[in-house]
C-alpha cells in the first residue's frame, strides 16, 4: 500500500477532534456564554446535522474538481471554522461557526476516504480505507482528551484553537505529500434509490440507533464525569480516553466478526451492552456515592464498554451495506457516514431534552431506551426473516 495514504489519517483526526473537542469543557463554556447546560448540547447537534445533510450534496457538486486541491480548500476552511469558534463572542455566533465547521468536515472526510481508495491498488483498498478511519479512533483516544487538557490550562476557547491547529497541520501535510488526483465525472447516484432497499435501511438504522444511544452520554461526558466522580478539567480527558480505547477494541472485534455467522448475535449483544452501560451511568448519578478510586475505575469501564459496543458494529454494518448496494457501495458508505453524524447530533439533542425535563441524571436512561428499541427491532426482523424462510425449507423437503 502507498505509504502516502497514511497522511490522510490526519484529516479524520482533525475532523474527529473538531466534532467533540469542547465536550470536556462544556460546563465552563455554557457559564461563560450565559446559556443553560441543555443548550450546550446544540453545539454538537448543529454540527452533526449539518454534516449529515451536506455530505452527499457536496460530494455531488464537487465531483469534477481536482481532489488534492479540493481537500486542501476543505482543510483551510476547517481551520477558519475552528478559529471562528474560538473567537465567537456569543452563543449564537458560536452556533453559526459550528454550522460552518460541519460543512467543512462534510467535504473533507469523504474526500479523504475517496483519495485513499483511488491511490491504493485494489488488493489494498480495504486497508487504505481502514487507515483513514483509524484517524477517528486516534482522535477519540488522544486528540479529544488532549484538547480537554489544553482547555483546562487555557480555557474552553483554546480547545477550538487546538482543533484549528490540527486542521492546519493536516492541510500542510496533504499539500506536501499527496499527488494531484483528477476529479471524476461518473454517472449520477441516487441516494433515494438506495434507501428503497430494505437491507440498506435496516443497516443504516443500526448505525443511527447505536450512535444516538451512546452519544446521549458522550455529548455531556464532562458534566457526567464531574457528577459521578467529582473530577473536572484535565482529569476528564482520562475518561474520554477510555471511550477512545473502547472504540479501538470495538473496531478490532467487529472486523473479526463481520463476516462470521455470529455477527448478528454480536449486534444484538452490543445493544444489550449499551442498555447496561448507559442505564448504570444514570443510576450512579442518582445514587451519588462518595468519590473514590473504585468509582473512577467503574466509570472508566462503563465508558470503555460503551465505546466497544458502538464501534464493533461499524465493520458489520459497512460489510453488509457493500453487499447490499453493489456498484453503489461508495454512496451507501457515504450515507452511513451521514447517518453516523445524524445519530451523534440526535443523541446530543435527546440529552438536551432530557436535561431540560428531568435533569442530567436522566440522560443515560434515555440512551438505554434507544438501545432497547434497537434490540426489539432486531428481534422482530429476525423473527420475520425466519418466518419467510420456512415455506422455502418446506418446499425443499
| 224 and 306 housed in the same domain | yes
| 177 and 212 housed in the same domain | no
Q: What is the pLDDT of residue 294?
A: 87
| 355 and 372 housed in the same domain | yes
| 222 and 167 housed in the same domain | no
| 60 and 199 housed in the same domain | no
Which among 108, 129, 107, 122 is positioned nearest to 58, based on CA atoms? 107
Q: What is the pLDDT of residue 235?
A: 75
The phi-psi region of residue 155 (left if phi > 0; otherwise alpha if psi is between -120 and 50; otherwise beta) is left
| 156 and 218 housed in the same domain | no
Give the end of a domain, one of 139, 168, 186.
186
Structural domain containing residue 240: 189-397
CB 384 within 8 A of CB 294: no
| 180 and 197 housed in the same domain | no
Tally Cβ neighbours within 10 Å of residue 326: 10
| 150 and 231 housed in the same domain | no
Q: What is d(CA 219, CA 272) in angstroms, rounded to the nearest whole number?
A: 21
pLDDT tens digits, 158-195: 989 999 999 999 999 999 998 888 876 554 456 677 78
Give the end of a domain, one of 119, 151, 186.
186
| 149 and 213 housed in the same domain | no
Q: What is the pLDDT of residue 24?
A: 73
Secondary structure, 3-state, the chain = CCHHHHHHHHHHHHHHHHHHCCHHHHHHHHHHHCCCHHHHHHHHHHHHHHHHHHHHHHHHHCCCCCHHHHHHHHHHHHHHHHHHHHHCCCHHHHHHHHHHHHHHHHHHHHHHHHHHHHHCCHHHHHHHHHHHHHHHHHHHHHHHHHHHHHHHHHCHHHHHHHHHHHHHHHHHHHHHHCCCCCCCCCCCCCHHHHHCCHHHHHHHHHHHHHHHHHHHHHCCHHHHHHHHHCCCHHHHHHHHHHHHHHHHHHHHHHHHHCCCCCHHHHHHHHHHHHHHHHHHHHHHHHHCCCCCHHHHHHHHHHHHHHHHHHHCHHHHHHHHHHHHHHHHHHHHHHHHHHHHHHHHHHHHHHHHHHHHHCCHHHHHHHHHHHHHHHHHHHHHHHHHHHHHHHHHHHHHC
Q: What is d(CA 127, CA 366) in angstroms, rounded to the nearest whole number?
A: 36
Helices 198-218 and 313-325 cross at an angle (nearest 10°) of: 160
| 52 and 179 housed in the same domain | yes
pLDDT tens digits, 256-274: 787 688 889 999 999 999 9
CA torsion, ordered 341, 347, 353, 354, to nearest 10 deg:
-170
CA torsion, ordered 267, 371, 29, 143, to nearest 10 deg:
-10
Low-confidence ranges of the chain (pLDDT < 70): 1-2, 122-127, 129-130, 184-191, 233-234, 259, 326-330, 390-397
Q: What is d(CA 166, CA 352) in angstroms, rounded to the nearest whole number?
A: 29
Q: What is d(CA 207, CA 224) in angstroms, rounded to the nearest whole number?
A: 24
Residue with cell 499539500: 175
Q: What is the pLDDT of residue 338?
A: 84
| 326 and 312 housed in the same domain | yes
CATH label of the domain that carries residue 15: 1.20.1250.20
Question: Residues 271, 277, 280, 285: is their CA dihedral positive or negative?
Answer: negative
Q: What is the pLDDT of residue 324?
A: 82
Residue with cell 449564537: 92
Give the end of a domain, one of 151, 169, 186.
186
CATH label of the domain that carries residue 348: 1.20.1250
Q: What is d(CA 9, CA 17) in angstroms, rounded to the nearest whole number?
A: 12
Which among 214, 265, 202 is positioned nearest to 371, based on CA atoms? 214
Alpha carbon distances (Å) from 280 to 15, 74, 290, 296, 302: 30, 40, 16, 14, 8
Tally Cβ neighbours within 10 Å of residue 166: 27
Q: What is d(CA 270, CA 256) in angstroms, rounded to the nearest whole number?
A: 15
Q: Please tell me the pTM assigned to this model.
A: 0.73
The count of domains in the chain is 2
| 146 and 248 housed in the same domain | no
Amino acid at each position: 500500500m502507498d505509504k502516502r495514504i497514511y497522511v490522510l489519517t490526519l484529516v479524520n483526526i482533525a475532523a474527529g477532534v473538531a466534532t467533540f473537542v469542547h465536550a470536556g469543557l462544556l460546563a465552563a463554556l455554557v457559564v461563560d456564554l450565559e446559556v443553560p447546560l441543555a443548550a450546550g448540547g446544540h453545539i454538537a447537534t448543529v454540527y452533526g446535522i449539518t454534516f449529515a445533510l451536506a455530505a452527499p450534496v457536496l460530494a455531488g457538486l464537487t465531483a469534477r474538481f481536482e481532489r488534492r486541491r479540493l481537500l486542501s480548500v476543505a482543510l483551510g476552511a476547517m481551520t477558519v471554522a475552528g478559529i471562528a469558534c474560538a473567537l465567537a463572542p456569543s452563543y449564537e455566533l458560536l452556533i453559526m461557526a459550528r454550522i460552518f465547521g460541519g460543512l467543512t468536515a462534510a467535504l473533507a472526510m469523504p474526500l479523504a476516504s475517496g483519495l485513499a481508495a483511488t491511490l491504493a491498488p485494489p488488493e489494498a483498498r480495504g486497508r487504505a480505507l481502514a487507515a483513514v478511519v483509524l484517524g477517528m479512533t486516534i482522535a477519540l483516544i488522544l486528540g479529544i482528551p488532549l484538547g480537554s487538557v489544553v482547555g483546562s490550562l487555557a480555557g474552553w476557547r483554546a480547545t477550538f484553537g487546538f482543533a484549528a491547529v490540527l486542521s492546519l497541520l493536516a492541510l500542510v501535510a496533504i499539500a506536501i505529500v499527496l499527488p494531484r488526483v483528477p476529479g471524476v465525472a461518473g454517472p449520477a447516484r441516487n441516494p433515494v434509490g438506495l434507501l428503497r432497499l430494505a437491507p440498506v435501511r435496516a443497516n443504516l438504522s443500526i448505525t443511527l440507533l447505536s450512535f444516538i444511544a451512546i452519544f446521549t452520554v458522550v455529548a455531556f461526558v464532562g458534566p457526567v464525569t464531574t457528577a459521578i466522580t467529582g473530577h473536572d478539567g484535565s482529569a476528564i480527558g482520562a475518561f474520554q480516553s477510555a471511550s477512545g480505547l473502547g472504540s479501538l477494541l470495538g473496531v478490532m472485534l467487529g472486523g473479526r466478526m463481520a463476516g462470521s455467522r455470529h455477527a448478528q448475535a454480536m449486534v444484538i449483544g452490543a445493544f444489550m451492552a449499551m442498555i447496561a452501560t448507559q442505564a448504570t451511568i444514570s443510576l450512579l448519578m442518582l445514587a451519588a456515592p462518595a468519590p473514590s478510586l473504585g468509582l473512577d475505575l467503574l466509570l472508566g469501564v462503563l465508558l470503555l464498554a460503551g465505546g466497544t459496543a458502538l464501534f464493533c458494529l461499524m465493520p458489520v454494518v459497512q460489510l453488509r451495506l457493500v453487499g447490499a448496494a453493489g456498484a453503489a457501495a461508495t454512496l451507501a458508505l457515504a450515507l452511513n457516514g451521514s447517518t453516523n453524524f445524524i445519530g451523534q447530533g440526535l443523541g446530543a439533542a435527546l440529552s438536551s431534552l432530557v436535561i431540560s425535563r428531568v435533569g442530567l441524571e436522566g440522560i443515560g436512561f434515555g440512551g438505554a431506551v434507544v438501545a432497547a428499541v434497537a434490540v426489539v427491532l432486531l428481534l422482530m426482523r429476525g423473527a420475520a426473516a425466519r418466518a419467510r424462510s420456512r415455506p422455502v425449507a418446506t418446499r425443499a423437503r
